[in-house]
Structure 1
Amino acid sequence: MPTRLPSDRYTGIDYPRMREYRLNRTREAMKQFGIDVLITFEAWDIRYITGAYVPPAVKWPEGCFVVLPINGDPYLCAFSVDSLKEEMPWMKGKIFPQMGITKLLFTPEAWNPYMDKIEEIIKEHGLEDGVIGIDGSSNELIMCKALENRGFKKYIDAKECMFQARKIKNEDEITCIKECCAIAEAAFYEIKKAIKPGVTECEIMGAGMKKLYELGCDEVFEFVVSSGPRTNPIRIDCTDRIIRPGDIVFVDINGASFQGYKCCYYRSFVCGKATEEQKEVFREARDMMYAAMDKIKAGATTRDLCEVWPDSPTYWGYEPDEWDKVSPHAVGHGIGLSLHEFPLFSRPGMGGDAVLEEGMVLALETWCGKKGGDFGIRVEENVVVRKDGYELLTKFPIDELIECPF
């Protein structure tokens, strides 16, 4: 697909096809889990089902939600109803206004304005005796009591249902993730130029953030910038630490988003010229990651991947029973509208034996360094599971540790 936007020459990303695919996947998952009515407050599930973007200011208060009857169209509760009805014609006008902050509704009675609408939708579709799946509400217990007060007695948690729905991407979704990776690579180029003695981790993140916004990211989160001694043990934040000559700097652009779709993308740099020890540790981390990637294909299991990773914390210098201290050192996870999706896997056996399916998008990340050492190396790749292997999505150079001369 040569272009991100449709034109008179190219189709580009087919958004109507993508929305239809996602809604059908949701309905299939609802059937699998025995859910007749889905109610979700989760921002990425709202986007998956309806295409609606939930702004950061609305995510925390859980001010938006979707009601999806198994036998009908989705209903969206949101701000700016009149504008959204015009901007989202595929919703067929089924958008109703937000009436309060659901996270602050502390009694069943406080839910009554919303329950009036939810009850109306359920009864309109003849699902009074159906099972209601609830996803992403921090006030789930109170909400369930409010449902009981309306006579709805059957409800289950729908978190797993939606993870299962989202785990297989169509080619339009995959193209969105490719675009996100391409934008991140432009940000890495700016980051590489920015790394020099005297700049701070925050300044490095700022250089990357600027490029993400310039190239059209619709949602940007703070990403990881760790340098010098903050690379061992791993830190996953960003500070005002000043970069010094010889420092390792690893960066995780995990906050980029194109049409809602994320990448999770580590690269390691050195301020100046790399030492032989730094190069050796880099090769160790890269080889560990690629050993697992070589096992990826449709039909393989997450256990197949984990079995090529170190089988004891002693590899990283820890006691045999200290898996809790090293589990992030070799890990894989799905990625899509949310940063971490199904499956999630690492040693020893976390994630079980999930079967890889064609169309899954995975991120694999590894870390190496001596316990108590003055640096560590982190690398990560994003791939699509294909029938006989994988398609690599992340293209920023990783054959060797990236030097930033000054």
Structure 2
Amino acid sequence: MIQKTIKEETHCYGTQVVKATLETTGSVEGLFGRHRKIMPYDPSEEGLLRERSRQKAASLNQHAIGYGPVTEAEWASAGIAAPDLTAMRRYRLERIRSELKKRNYAGALLYDPVNIRYATDSTNMQLWVAHNPTRHCFVATEGPVILFDYFACEHLSDHAGTVSEVRPAISWMYLYGGELTELRVRRWAGGIADLLREHGGSNSRLAVDHLSAEGVDALQQLGISVHSGEAVMESARLIKSADEILCMRRAIVACESAMGEMEACLRPGISENELWAELHRGNIARGGEWIETRLLASGPRTNPWFQECSSRVIEEGDLVAFDTDLIGPYGFCADLSRTWLCGDVEPTDEQRDLFRIAAEQIAHNTALIRPGIGFRELVDRSAVAPADCFPTRYGVLYHGVGLADEYPTLPHAQDWTSDTPDGVLEPGMVVCVESYIGRLGGREGVKIEDQVLVTADGHEQLSSYPLDPRLSATS
């Protein structure tokens, strides 16, 4: 096998292609990147068995298998075409490298699993590695993409065709290093420095997203200049390609289908936790990945906002408000909020009034979205909560969204400070429009949030789950 770079990869190979290649040639040579550091080519019987084992594992990767007939049928019913994942992966790497060149960095070292997903479209124990740094990725500005993965996990990136090489990660967190952690840090830093010298030439400027003080210090002692990888990655992720928008549309359809199943289970006597579990079930069943928060509350727990969901039993006549914060299929975020009325009852005048204020705020602020409008202008023209609801306002009016919540975050005008960044909405950005309305000292509150694409001539609302008709009725 010959080691490949991303420029040489032209296809994303699915299970059927891999099986057919194995059946006709006995090998998948040429389909996957070369992993010489973990598995050098070995013509012995043991080496061939090891190689075939890796190839089999790669062909059975969850991302190669796909999302299944039920989920695909929902997407077909919604009329959403399949994304070109090869084109999307190429676009992402080009975005990263463009940002690296703009800032004169030799490469990026990524630890955030969301950033690694963006760069490689591969996953591995996403939540676990988010707080246990045992997986990282080096993207050379001019050169390869090298993934440092968890032990015996080289097959988890073969499906994507984006990774040039896999090496075993050196983890220097205390869990593994104990009081010898400093030795591990030095060994790790030496490997990163070698990479930078090999692929960066005289450029020793490295972008890093998440790295603790020991790592920064060890790299600096080896002459590496460490800079903000968050700025690189957030800027790269800001503008979505057409294929990314298709992925996001599909993730939202999956999320809203799960929301429908959750709403069907809403009845007096169910606990908040039981209801929230339905959203998790629906997301996972459709190939979604995780939910980032526990934001579902009922009745008096809806005011103030940000109560995490609990064992409280939902009663007839309660408002039930939630925020999905959901990472769905393709790793895309569906960040939607709705408020429902529990039971076969009519809402109170207060519930209707709170809902009306929230819905009108969302509608007004969504209508402002267009390319070319500045962040500060958007904020200044936005509708805000009335005086008796303003103290309990949501922290932001708008925020970016993609693989997760992203830049920018736009606060209320009153909360704008000298260090709040300004900017301009551009086509291809996706933002969430937020509203929480609850009176200071009141019993309940209403949460609504929608996901909106900035288009060339305005905007398109991507989320479409209906508002509760009883709460939104005028009488």
Q: Which residue of 2 aligns with 1:119?
A: 193
Q: Any idea what the Cα deviations from partners look like across 1:152-192, whole Å, max 9, x if unmatched?
A: 3x221221221111111001111111111111111221121
Q: Which deviates the most, 306-315 or 278-287? A: 306-315
Residues of 2 paired with 1:158 and 1:176: CA distance? Answer: 25
Of 326, 348, 358, which aligns to 2:393? Answer: 326
User: Does the 8 A contact of 2:327 with 2:403 survive in 1?
Assistant: no
Q: Which residue of 2 aligns with 1:43?
A: 113
Aligned pairs (5 A) from 1:1-400: 12-55=82-125, 56-79=127-150, 80-84=152-156, 86-92=158-164, 94-102=165-173, 108-137=182-211, 139=212, 141-152=213-224, 154-272=225-343, 273=345, 274-309=347-382, 314-316=387-389, 318=391, 326-328=393-395, 330-338=396-404, 340-347=405-412, 348=414, 349=416, 351-398=420-467, 400=469
What is the one-letter code of the residue matched to 2:123? Y
Structure with higher helix content: 2
Residues of 1 paired with 2:385 and 2:286: CA distance? Answer: 42
Q: Any idea what the Cα deviations from partners look like across 1:185-211, whole Å, max 9, x if unmatched?
A: 112211211111111000101122211
User: Does the 8 A contact of 1:61 with 1:101 survive in 2?
Assistant: no
User: Does the 8 A contact of 1:282 with 1:401 survive in 2?
Assistant: no
| Counterparts in 2 of 1:286 and 1:150: CA distance versus 1, 3 Å | same
User: Does the 8 A contact of 1:316 with 1:369 survive in 2?
Assistant: yes
Q: CA deviation at 1:311?
A: 6.2
- Where structure 2 has 5 or more consecutive residues not aligned to the other structure, the ranges are 1-71
User: Does the 8 A contact of 1:47 with 1:54 survive in 2?
Assistant: no
The count of residues paired between Structure 1 and Structure 2 equals 387
| Counterparts in 2 of 1:281 and 1:133: CA distance versus 1, 3 Å | same
| Counterparts in 2 of 1:127 and 1:4: CA distance versus 1, 3 Å | farther
Q: Secondary structure at the match of 1:259?
A: helix
TM-score (norm. length: structure 2):
0.76
Q: Secondary structure at the match of 2:240?
A: coil
Residues of 2 paired with 1:29 and 1:144: CA distance? Answer: 21
Q: Secondary structure at the match of 2:397?
A: strand
| Counterparts in 2 of 1:285 and 1:103: CA distance versus 1, 3 Å | farther
What is the one-letter code of the residue matched to 2:87? R
Q: CA deviation at 1:271?
A: 0.9
| Counterparts in 2 of 1:4 and 1:259: CA distance versus 1, 3 Å | farther
Q: Secondary structure at the match of 1:284?
A: helix
- Where structure 1 has 5 or more consecutive residues not aligned to the other structure, the ranges are 319-324
Bigger Cα Rg: 2
Q: CA deviation at 1:99?
A: 2.8
Q: Secondary structure at the match of 1:90?
A: coil
Residues of 2 paired with 1:188 and 1:13: CA distance? Answer: 24
What percentage of aligned pairs have identical amino acids?
A: 26
Q: Any idea what the Cα deviations from partners look like across 1:27-77, whole Å, max 9, x if unmatched?
A: 111122232221111111111111121312222111111112211121110
Residues of 2 paired with 1:219 and 1:194: CA distance? Answer: 20
TM-score (norm. length: structure 1):
0.88
